[in-house]
Structure 1
Amino acid sequence: MAERILDVKNLEINFHTYAGDVKAIRDVSFHLDKGETLAIVGESGSGKSVTTKSLMGLLANNAEVVGGSIMYHDQDILKKSEKEMQNIRGKDIAMIFQDPMTSLDPTMKIGQQIAEPLMKHKKLDKKKAWAQALDILKLVGIVNPEKRINEYPHQFSGGMRQRIVIAIALVCYPEVLIADEPTTALDVTIQAQILDLMKELQSKIETSIIFITHDLGVVAGMADRVAVMYAGKIVEYGTVDEIFYNPQHPYTWGLLNSMPTLSSTLLEAIPGTPPDLLDPPKGDAFAARSAYAMKIDIEKEPPFFKVSDTHYAATWLLHPDAPKVTPPTEIVRRQKLFAEMSTNKSVKA
């Protein structure tokens, strides 16, 4: 059985605003095992970044954790002081942020920025820290690293800056790496290179990754498991094949339907907008945007229904008494593929 590194249970986070409390994260639970990649997907504003910033103790001043726990091994991160978190941040749990230019100090040489975590966490002297910084620059594919280690962030392209940010995050060989939309600002070619690099480095240093994205296409080649977030809640989770080929929640259907594929040129946007989390709906938060909503969706929040040992979805459509509905054509195509894949697996077994 895989070693469990992180276990988030019933996490609830509110943001205090002049208009009232925004219930940004509502009863979120998930776990991360050693060496695996968990992708958290959803539209902007669904709560992905807030959830992962709470793992780092980097929430905004107006944010308050009002419930739940974040167990890193056997310690609750939420009970740690800022000083204790400073010892964990960068060493045990590291983060790659969305925009490399805002993550790097424009006044410092990149060698200094990579060496700094080694001097703080590993207590290395400057010479040894710079030597290791040079090694990791080579590892992340910076050409001519001996010269470039003395250059400043503005002297690098966007793709190279993102490699440097990855180098800073990985230089202490953290146990958990959080990647918050690390390829959003990059063009498609560079994006593919960065994703390949992250997978390659993961196998070399045996880190576990939480990968945040709104782009399901990126997830397919990266993740082992996927958690789908909507309006501050996880609405479906399962293995990457289960979410891609046998999705059960109408929101997951909508996300997949709005993704370009070779078999379909028609992209369908999800109608409407997410609910106001100052006053969250009492039923299924996605009901107002769903063509499959029933009366119970408006009145009562659905529990998680079990699809398989690894696959759960919070939708009343999975209740035994729910009417049978036909998902969008693209989803039906995927589910047929999933059935064929499952049949082939059982035949081989």
Structure 2
Amino acid sequence: MSDNILEVKNLNINFKTFAGTVQAIRDVSFNLKKGETLAIVGESGSGKSVTTRSIMGLLASNAVIEHGEILFKGQDLLKESAKEMDHHRGNDLSMIFQDPMTSLDPTMTIGKQVAEPLRIHGKISKEKALKRAQEVLELVGIPNAKNRMKDFPHQFSGGQRQRIVIAIAIVNYPEILIADEPTTALDVTVQAQIIDLMRELQEKLETSIIFITHDLGVVAGIADRVAVMYAGKIIEVGTVDEIFYQPKHPYTWGLLSSMPTLDTKGAKLSSIPGTPPDLLDPPKGDAFAPRNPYAMQIDLEAQPPFFKVSDTHYAATWLLHPDAPKVQPPAPIVKRAQEYAHLMQTGAVDTPSEGSQN
């Protein structure tokens, strides 16, 4: 029996627009194991959020799932009714969004907002729901949670509001938690605290996490595996160590090269030249070819298949073909990635303790 709690297979999603059909998600496949954190990384517009919103059944009205499967414990969510998906959301699947102020109702107290999913999905009394809400607020680190249950969102700091959003997402102890760039709007100190909190919650609740981000530096601190997306496709997948220490796709090299480290103060960071392709008319070959300094003629003519690097590491680049020239990542990129990954994974960078305003 598979140990995957979630399997996405050959997912294709289009958006119907006035300008034409946008091929937003193109043959995306990945899996999620129980208790692991999978990070999905890529630039804005790469398809990260659309992919995960399809898991939740929260796509826009002009989205069309052309074909594919989303299997939760072997059950295809795409074949579920609206009522069945309502049951899954909150009970089995939950999502944390990027901006907590757009997720919280400014007119409702925090206690009621955290308890609301329990009332909707759990069918328990108001008193029991509020008691659980207080326990979860304490779990996510809200100081003096009992007395702050009657406070409103504007009375909390940005870091505390994000903790409250996390509390709402986990109050029903979902089996899969999707975090859509949950630290982007926060300063780096609070970012580190939220990452630490999510790691702690995963250990306590044994929740599987899909973590969406454009920042590979964040990935080093939380992920077990990484899927790199570009132009609606996954182009590399591997363990966090494989992606940081042995990246194979030139796009992954570009993402790694743009990461700052403690030694890059005052230095100019690298950037990936050009822009992503127009998915109204996707290119025939490798979508990254126009921005790839190592592109070959075949990159313009055919999409590369996934080449196996190890049992856990695959990359869709023609550079891994046996007949391709041997190209290695530029040395500065590898050095920067290794230094950063080492710092994040060994805890060499101290995280300031949280004060009452975080």
Q: With structure 2 as the length reference, what TM-score do the two structures score?
A: 0.92
Q: How far did 1:330 drift?
A: 2.2
Q: How far did 1:334 drift?
A: 6.7
CA–CA distance in 1 between the matches of 2:328 and 2:147? 60
Is the 2:257–2:336 Cα contact (8 Å) retained in structure 1?
no
Q: Classify the secondary structure of the residue corresponding to 1:90.
A: helix
CA–CA distance in 2 between the matches of 1:336 and 1:218? 14
Is the 2:261–2:336 Cα contact (8 Å) retained in structure 1?
no
Q: Classify the secondary structure of the residue corresponding to 2:28.
A: strand
Aligned counterpart, 1:341: none
Q: How far did 1:119 drift?
A: 1.4
Q: Classify the secondary structure of the residue corresponding to 1:68.
A: strand
Aligned counterpart, 1:133: 133
Identity %: 73
Give the stretch that moved more between structures: 149-158 or 246-255.
149-158
CA–CA distance in 2 between the matches of 1:318 and 1:63? 34
In the comparison of the two structures, how many residue pairs are matched?
337
Aligned counterpart, 2:55: 55
Aligned counterpart, 1:323: 325
Q: Classify the secondary structure of the residue corresponding to 2:309.
A: strand
Give the stretch that moved more between structures: 113-122 or 46-55.
113-122
Kindly indicate whether residue 279 of structure 2 is the aligned counterpart of residue 277 of structure 1: yes
Runs of 4 or more, structure 1, over 2 Å off, are: 261-266, 329-337
Is the 1:284–1:300 Cα contact (8 Å) retained in structure 2?
yes
Aligned counterpart, 2:209: 209
Counterpart of 1:286 in structure 2: which amino acid? Answer: F
Superposed counterparts of 1:1-349, under 5 Å: 3-262=3-262, 264=264, 265-333=267-335
Is the 2:137–2:145 Cα contact (8 Å) retained in structure 1?
yes
Is the 1:245–1:331 Cα contact (8 Å) retained in structure 2?
no
CA–CA distance in 1 between the matches of 2:122 and 2:33? 25
CA–CA distance in 1 between the matches of 2:109 and 2:338? 53
Q: For 1:192-224, what per-residue CA distance to the aligned partner results, in whole angstroms no more than 9, with x for missing partners? A: 111100100110010000000000000001000
Q: For 1:289-317, what per-residue CA distance to the aligned partner results, in whole angstroms no more than 9, with x for missing partners? A: 01000000000100000000100000000
User: Structure 1: where are the runs of 5+ without partners?
Assistant: 338-349
CA–CA distance in 1 between the matches of 2:115 and 2:69? 33
Q: For 1:101-148, what per-residue CA distance to the aligned partner results, in whole angstroms no more than 9, with x for missing partners? A: 000111111111111111122211000000000000111111111111
CA–CA distance in 1 between the matches of 2:320 and 2:261? 27
Q: For 1:249-283, what per-residue CA distance to the aligned partner results, in whole angstroms no more than 9, with x for missing partners? A: 00000000011124554410000000000000010
Give the stretch that moved more between structures: 182-191 or 262-271.
262-271
Q: Classify the secondary structure of the residue corresponding to 1:308.
A: coil
CA–CA distance in 1 between the matches of 2:6 and 2:305? 23
Counterpart of 2:146 in structure 1: which amino acid? Answer: E
CA–CA distance in 1 between the matches of 2:196 and 2:270? 29
Q: For 1:71-129, what per-residue CA distance to the aligned partner results, in whole angstroms no more than 9, with x for missing partners? A: 00021011111111111001100000000000011111111111111112221100000
Q: Classify the secondary structure of the residue corresponding to 1:202.
A: helix
Counterpart of 1:302 in structure 2: which amino acid? Answer: P
Change (3 A) 1:246 1:335: farther
Q: How far did 1:327 drift?
A: 2.3
Q: Classify the secondary structure of the residue corresponding to 2:325.
A: coil
CA–CA distance in 1 between the matches of 2:72 and 2:310? 27
Is the 1:91–1:121 Cα contact (8 Å) retained in structure 2?
yes
Is the 2:256–2:337 Cα contact (8 Å) retained in structure 1?
no
Counterpart of 1:91 in structure 2: which amino acid? Answer: N
Q: Classify the secondary structure of the residue corresponding to 1:23.
A: strand
